[in-house]
Structure 1
Amino acid sequence: METALTRLTGVEHPIVQTGMGWVSGPRLVSATARAGALGILASATMTTEQLRHAVREVRSRTDAPFGVNLRADAGDARERVRIIVEEGVRVASFALAPSRALVSELKDAGVVVIPSIGARRHAEKVAAWGADAVIVQGGEGGGHTGEVATTVLLPQVVDAVDIPVIAAGGFHDGRGLVAALAYGAAGIAMGTRFLLTSDSTVPDAVKARYLAATVRDITVTAAVDGLPHRMLRTDLVAALERYGRARALLHALRRAAGFRRLSGLSWAAMLRDGRAMRHGKDLSWSQVLLAANTPMLLKASMVEGRTDLGIMASGQVAGLIEDLPSCTELVDRVMREAGQALRALPPTAWSTGSPAP
């Protein structure tokens, strides 16, 4: 199935595996790439040295195109861009809107730039800066998300920009791919569905929690970091929502101490970052500290398997997923289902030549 996405990136199928912190590592990305889809390395939870090593590990496993996801607000974003360019990575995606300068630097080096956005105006902005495509995530998507459903946001963005649009939020099968194409998208991006594969390094106990979840077990809360965040509802999430300011601050300080040890940041640097994050937002200091060390909360579950101590970002679609295929099995299934869905569409007036009703 050839679309603007496959032509732009050189992949075989119009499917993207999104960059999920602690999840989208070399094993998952290389398995996705070998399956013919676009795998995206999540670099935000890596040091620059680890990023270069991860890129080279993927390269050692496959010759297929893949990408790297960046945080545009990272202090070392320019260094990460340099690694992408030097290592010959095909695609750069962004968790937040990139700066015009970063887009120009990447494009000048021949890297395909695909930011993720959650609003029409953001798509228009990055398109004007020269982005090659956009991933549009509706409110059904996991992690930080907006309030507008994919079925409303997607056609808005398709009508607003002249670059390929990739639909994200609520996709897990071939029917969804066909629906996205009907809206005018060039393909789909999936996070939770790729997290729940046999190639994902997420611990089995965590995968089991996802597979057991119904759509009602997936919630949006601002209790973790002050911003809408879609995740599995757990005892930890419920506790954070109940905490008063003092108890929340104590919890945040404990987590911040762990993040400081992992990241090597000083308390002064963390406070400096916290002030920047707090600017323009009505966040308590406990929320600021939790936002700064949300990676630790994700690591506890996605790496250490501690579902009691960590958070589990999740799209609503987790409530529909029941198995753990390999990436190859998943991509083959999605494409097979897409073909079946297209063939099952009823004959139309314009295809038979009869007058439209």
Structure 2
Amino acid sequence: MRTALTELTGVRHPVVQTGMGWVAGPRLVSATAEAGGLGILASATMSFDELALAVQETKERTDRPFGVNLRADAEDAGRRVDLMVAEGVRVASFALAPRREMIARLKDAGIVVIPSVGAARHAVKVAEWGADAVIVQGGEGGGHTGGVATTLLLPSVLDAVDIPVVAAGGFFDGRGLAAALAYGAAGVAMGTRFLLTKESTVPEPVKQAYLRRGLNDTVVTRKVDGMPHRVLRTELVEALERSGPATGFARAAANAVRFRRLTGLSWLAMAREGLAMKRGGDRTWAQVLMAANTPMLLRAGLVDGDTGAGVLASGQVVGLLGDLPSVAELVEGVVAEAERSIAQLPEGK
């Protein structure tokens, strides 16, 4: 299935596996690449050395194109870009808008730049800076999300920019891919659906906890890191929702210490990243201070398998999922169902 996305990135199918922290490692990314989709490594939860090893392992597992998701406000972002250039990584994606000069550096090296955006104005900005495409996530999506549904956000972005647009938020099957293509998108990006596959490294009991959930079993909370965050409803999340600011700041401080030990970042480096985060977005200082909660609370659930102490990011589609296919089965099934759906549409007169 050829679209502007497949032409741009060199993959066979317009299906993107998003760069989910603690989830999108070499095994999942290489399986996606081998299946013909675009797999994206999540580097925000990796140290530089871990990212270098992850890129090497992914290249050993597949010779097909894949991407790396970067934090533009990370202190060593420039060094990570240099690594991607040296290793010939095909795609750079960003959860937050990259700087203009960073886009230029990547494009000069022949790397395709695909930021994620949550509003038409953000898409316009990165397109003006030279981004090759954008991923636009509606409010149905998991993790950090906005309040506008994909069915409204997607056309607003398509009308605003002339570069390829990839739709995210609420997609899990071929009908969704067909619908996105009908809107004018160049493909779909999926997170929760790829998290619930055989190649995902999320512990099996956690996967089963996801599969037991219904359409009303996610909630958007600001108590994780001060930003809207769609997660599964759990006792921990309910407790976070009831907690006051002092409790949140205390937890964030403790998690900052744990995250520093895990990544090897110095306190000075973390302070610089906090300042960059404040300058680069709309976050308050309170939200910046709480940002350390996200990686550590997600790690507890998605890596350690402790659903009582961890937060489980999830899109609303979790309520429609009931199996754990292989990545190959997933991608092939999505594309085949999309082709059938398109073929069944009435012919225009």
**What TM-score does the superposition give when structure 1 sets the normalisation length?**
0.93
Cα distance change on mapping 1:71 and 1:271 into 2, 3 Å: closer
* 1:295 alignment partner AA: P
Alpha-carbon offset, residue 268 of structure 1 = 5.7
- Tell me which residue corresponds to 2:310: 310
Letter in 1 for 2:257: A
* Superposed displacement of residue 337, structure 1: 0.8
Q: CA deviation at 1:293?
A: 3.5
Which amino acid counterpart does residue 254 of structure 2 have in structure 1? Answer: R
Which residue matches 2:183? Answer: 183
Note the alpha carbon deviations across 1:161-218, whole angstroms, 9 max, x for none.
1111100000000000000001000100001100000000000111111111111111
Q: CA offset at residue 290 of structure 1?
A: 3.1
Q: Read off the aligned partner of 1:335 and give its amino acid letter.
A: V
Distance 1:293 1:92 in 2: 25
Structure 1 CA distance for aligned equivalents of residues 107 and 277 of structure 2: 28
Does structure 2 conserve the Cα–Cα contact (< 8 Å) formed by 1:274 and 1:292? Answer: no
CA shift in 2, pair 1:130/1:276, >3 Å: closer
Q: TM-score, normalised by structure 2?
A: 0.95
Q: Which residue of 1 aligns with 2:235?
A: 235
**What residue in structure 2 maps to residue 209 of structure 1?**
209
Counting matched residue pairs gives: 347
Give, in whole Å, the separation in 2 of the partners of 1:40 and 1:276: 24
> Any unmatched runs of 5+ in structure 1?
351-357
Matched with 1:37 is: 37
Question: What are the equivalent positions in structure 2 for 1:108-257 lying under 5 Å apart?
Answer: 108-257=108-257
CA–CA separation in structure 2 for the residues paired with 1:70 and 1:200: 20
Matched, 1:264 2:264: yes
Partner of 1:21: 21
What are the equivalent positions in structure 2 for 1:46-85 lying under 5 Å apart?
A: 46-85=46-85
Q: Secondary structure at the match of 2:69?
A: strand
CA contact (8 A) 2:75 2:273 kept: no
Q: Which has the higher Rg, Structure 1 or Structure 2? A: 1
**Is 254-263 or 68-77 further displaced after alignment?**
254-263
Q: Which amino acid aligns with 2:51?
A: L
Work out the CA distance in 2 between the residues paired with 1:62 and 1:145: 31
Shift of 1:251: 2.8
Larger deviation: 140-149 or 251-260?
A: 251-260
* Runs of 5+ consecutive residues of structure 2 not aligned to the other structure: none
Provide Cα deviations, 1:33-58, integer angstroms capped at 9, x if missing partner: 00000000011111111111111111
Q: Alpha carbons of 1:24 and 1:64: their partners in 2 closer, same or farther (altered >3 Å)?
A: same
Same amino acid, percent of matched pairs = 67
Tell whether the 8 Å contact from 1:226 to 1:283 is kept in structure 2 after alignment: no
Q: 1:162 to 1:278 in 2, by over 3 A?
A: closer
Question: CA-to-partner distance for each residue in 1:272-328, whole Å, 9 max, x for gaps?
Answer: 6546656764454xx544312411111111110011111111111111111000000
